Homo-oligomer: A and B are copies of this chain.
Amino acid sequence: WVDSANEPGCDFPIQNLPYGVFHHEDEDEDDARVGVAIGDMILDLSVIADAGLLEDVDADDEEDIEEDVSAPMLNLLMCSEPARWSALRRRISELLSDGNDELCGDASLMEDALIPMSEAVMVMPAEVGDYTDFYASIHHATNVGSMFRPDNPLLPNYKWIPIGYHGRSSTLAVSGTPVRRPLGQTKADDADPVYGPCKLLDYEMEVGAFVGRGNERGEIIPIDEAEDHLFGLCLVNDWSARDMQKWEYQPLGPFLAKSFLTTLSPWVVTMEALAPFRVASLPRESGDPAPLEYLSSKEDREFGGVDLTVEVYLSSERMRAEGMEPVRLSSGNFRHMYWTVAQMLTHHASNGCSMDPGDLFASGTVSGPEKGNRGCLLELTWRGSEPIELPTGETRKFLADGDEITMKGFCERDGYRRIGFGFCSGVVLPSVMATV
């Protein structure tokens, strides 16, 4: 019965019901609690739990849904079993359905429980203990590899291991956080390195997966159980300083080139909402090795992929001043990844590494086989050699101060309502050196 949820292009129909953490613009961050996106509104779960409308979600008294949804993070909810996630989802769906008036029949409750998105401030959906970034697009790995290591683009381990590295959880932030152009060491080919503002600032369009229940240290997560440990997906912008990355990354991997900011979309779309859009994992080309047994299951081969379209838009400061719409830089699909989310999670825990509720892993840049699928400027402009022209006549090899990057994601399939991810955006601010 939320009308805006029924409009065709809406990201948040009743079939979606993604979770986020928000507070009203008049409140402060201490008041943040769990909400569900429905149309252009947010259903405040703490209010409906207080009103007793979620009482039947927990079969017994041992779990307390009210406490879980009143927390300023999704971590408590993430600890649950998938069955409890389903029960909560069913109940929310019921309350929002035509014909049910438990909520919409109570005007004063409605006033408290439904907040217009335009009046809400979204905060980080979870407290992320550890953040990992994978590298699961073979198209991205091959493109980048051929620039950084022309003689050796795709390393021999790529088709055997979901390659990843540990990231910096303290620099995760929610969509809307501006990105300050970082300072760092860079080196021109013919000169000594210097410390100064990054000149080759880039974004990376990635998909993030939140861990639900974790595993104990020393235990593994079998591939067949991996998805039971996943709470849901979001969009991730892994801002990257390419000139810093090139100079620092050997031999221990990217470090400061990535740890100045990583932005997340605020809504976490559950695995259950994505079920109609699951597709086969990327077929291995002939000659490619089969995944090792611990990374292999029939279920994952047949349904491990997600048919999720991801788009990147740019608007320069001048475009916004002149009232122009953002331009779309790329459109890719998450089904083109060489490794599935289940394979990434199982691999991550395959050495006994403990995963905790709220831990996040990102997929790596989502790039596909076509040029228009490339998920970062490094690839799109082929390291700056093919600049992009903007409608103002401006050109971009990498990001300029004032540029705003917006990422969108959505699943579409005939006969099903569109499931959207909302967006993940951020504006580039000048470096602190430029402002003093």
Contact = CB atoms under 8 A, between A and B. Distances in A.
A106 to B, nearest CB: 41
A209 to B, nearest CB: 16
A155 B185 CA distance: 15
A160 interface: yes
A292 B195 contact: yes
A252 B164 contact: yes
Contacts of A244: 351
Stoichiometry, copies per complex: 2
A348 interface: yes
Nearest to A155: B250
18 contacts: A129-B169, A129-B170, A130-B169, A157-B250, A160-B187, A161-B248, A184-B350, A184-B351, A185-B292, A192-B289, A195-B293, A195-B294, A217-B261, A219-B432, A241-B351, A249-B251, A249-B253, A251-B253
Given A183-B220, A432-B218, A170 B135 contact: no
A293 B195 CA distance: 8
A17 B185 CA distance: 39
A170 B359 contact: yes
B163 A256 contact: no
Given A183-B220, A261-B352, 14 more contacts: A129-B169, A157-B250, A161-B248, A163-B251, A165-B166, A170-B217, A170-B356, A171-B354, A183-B350, A183-B352, A184-B350, A219-B432, A252-B254, A256-B347
A125 to B, nearest CB: 17
